[in-house]
Amino acid sequence: MSGAAPFLPASLGKVAVLMGGRSAEREVSLMSGQGVLQALLDCGVDAHAFDPAQRELMALQREGFDRCFIALHGRFGEDGTVQGALELMGIPYTGSGVMASSIAMDKVMTKRIWLAEGLPTPRHVLVQPSQIDTLSADALVGTLGWPLIVKPAREGSSIGVSKVTRAADLHAALRAAAACDSDVLCEQCIVGDEVTCPVLGAGPDARALPMIRIVAPDGNYDYQNKYFTDDTQYLVPCGLPDSEIAAIDALVIRAYQVLGCRGWGRIDVMIDGATRQPYLLEINTSPGMTSHSLVPMSARAAGMSYQALCCHLLAHAGLDNQEAAP
């Protein structure tokens, strides 16, 4: 892929870059949004910052915005709520529609669909906050084994996520996740290579961008190591055998398609170090666009600049009830 399809910036009209918002990922969203805003301005787009935490969404319609680039992350931005409001106002937006956004934000619902479609994902147990104090570590480990991952069912950026290696730490990890969400996901920990796989497009036209292998300090790819340090290594080309790359690309495109995603997304995958079996972890339908973010890194490896990526995504903004914009 040599770059985005050509377009005339003026044809995109007045554009709002939605950033900030009310989720736990507000800080990251502001960084993503500022990067996107500057990129669009550099391309000659009539782009403006818009923070839904500070302004009501209906102002988008009153002020004559023609399109929205969604740089919101997490709840109230990546979960179908903003998408639904934009559908009602008839303002095309980047990324997946209402249903796909809502499902993808919920890790448990995503897993249920992937499992129903025969796609591999780590074993999991859903825990309600009322069960935490009485939950038997032995029963949980009997299902998932050691170590295990504890995470909120509906958060991103590794917020509230813990890797638990002993029973003494389990309940603290469960309570930390429950502080972020009413549903807590306990998941089998796959030990091996961690890769992330960006996807562009929709339906049969969906295509994978170059896969990135992530090597984090002590294998801990947490919030700090994602956004605020330079200690994590991002390998692109990923260095895996071509046959593995092809199989994982096919897997992630299928995982993206069965959820009904469009526009773009990024799927995180763990590869079992012993069996080389890939397991789908989760999907992001409004991925980060910061200086440390992975989709721009992958796009660069495919010959697409940050500015070209932003303009490509905006040019393909759409609505659920009509074809994506040309």
Helix (H) or strand (E) holding 33: helix 26-42
Given 23, 96, 284, 286, the catalytic residue? 284
Closest C-alpha to 309, from 42, 73, 13: 42
Residue with tokens 């179908």: 80
- Residue 75 annotated in active site: no
Q: Which of the residues 266, 293, 298, 306 is marked catalytic?
A: 266
Burial state string for 124-150 with b = 16 or more CB within 10 A and e = fewer than 16: bbebeeeebeebebeebbeebeeebbb
Which residue among 97, 282, 286, 298 is the active-site one?
A: 282
242-258 and 107-116 are packed helices; what angle lies between their axes, rounded to 10 degrees? 110
Asked if 220 is an active-site residue, the reply is: no
Selecting among 101, 157, 162, 293, the annotated active-site residue is 157
Q: The tokens of 111 are what?
A: 């897993």
Active site residue 288: yes
Active site residue 227: yes
Question: Which of 203, 150, 146, 156 is closest to 177 using CA atoms?
Answer: 150
Give the separation between CA 299 and CA 273, rounded to whole angstroms: 27
Q: Determine whether 266 is an active site residue.
A: yes
Q: Let me know if 77 is a catalytic residue.
A: no
Mapped to the 3 state alphabet, what secondary structure does 114-175 carry? HHHCCCCCCCEEEECHHHCCCCCHHHHHHHHCCCEEEEECCCCCCCCCEEECCHHHHHHHHH
Out of 77, 95, 288, 318, pick the active-site residue: 288
Annotated active-site residue in 221, 268, 286, 318: 268
79 and 287 in contact (C-beta within 8 Å)? no
Indicate which residues carry an active-site annotation: 25, 157, 227, 266, 268, 282, 284, 288
